[in-house]
Amino acid sequence: MKIVLIGIQGSGKSTQGNLLAKRFKVPYLSTGHIFREIAKQKTQFGRYIKEVINSGALVTNEIAIHTVFEYLKKPDYKNGFILDGFPRTITQVEAFNKENIDHVVYIRIKDKSALERLLLRCATESREDDTQKAIKKRIRMFHKHTKPVLKFYKYKGILIEVNGERSVEKIQEEIVQKIEKK
């Protein structure tokens, strides 16, 4: 099974992604995690990625596409995956369209809720990319670049939309029910 998770940063994609991975016995892959790991590297590329994510911007389509495809070549992902954070733009959708995605799950939350969740996370975790300025920029980027992606998958008939402003258990239950129903 191949599932893509879409939502504003802080919508609960990683929580739901890990739960879905256990449920459907496929690996979870977060592009945010991948790029934060690259940003820790003491290389020119690592420093570049760090600057990009700390500013709240998206990595270029070329870098995102190349990085995700390299990961998906690994044997772990041949029988499916739960993918969080990709595709985020129509260019990425077009490159990724050859993958036979079964479901795209959009975890919908209000911008204000995302900001509150992320600022709370900032207080408990130490992540350089979670400044209020960077978070607000990512929310704007989501609306500008990712809303067309949602329209594409809705038109394709594989978009599942859930209200992400409920308990983790209720969200998980709704996602699983909608996936098993299709």
* CA–CA separation, 160 and 153 (whole Å): 9
Give yes or no for a contact between 137 and 55, defined as CB atoms under 8 angstroms apart: yes
Give yes or no for a contact between 99 and 3, defined as CB atoms under 8 angstroms apart: no
How do the pLDDT tens digits run along the chain, 182 residues long? 999 999 998 899 999 999 999 999 999 999 989 999 999 999 999 999 999 988 878 899 999 999 999 999 999 999 999 999 999 999 999 999 877 899 999 999 999 998 888 777 766 666 665 677 777 888 888 999 899 999 999 999 999 999 999 999 999 999 999 999 87
DSSP secondary-structure letter at 60?
A: P
Amino acid, single-letter form, for residue 108: R
pTM of the model: 0.89
> Which domains, and CATH codes, for the chain?
2-181 (3.40.50.300)
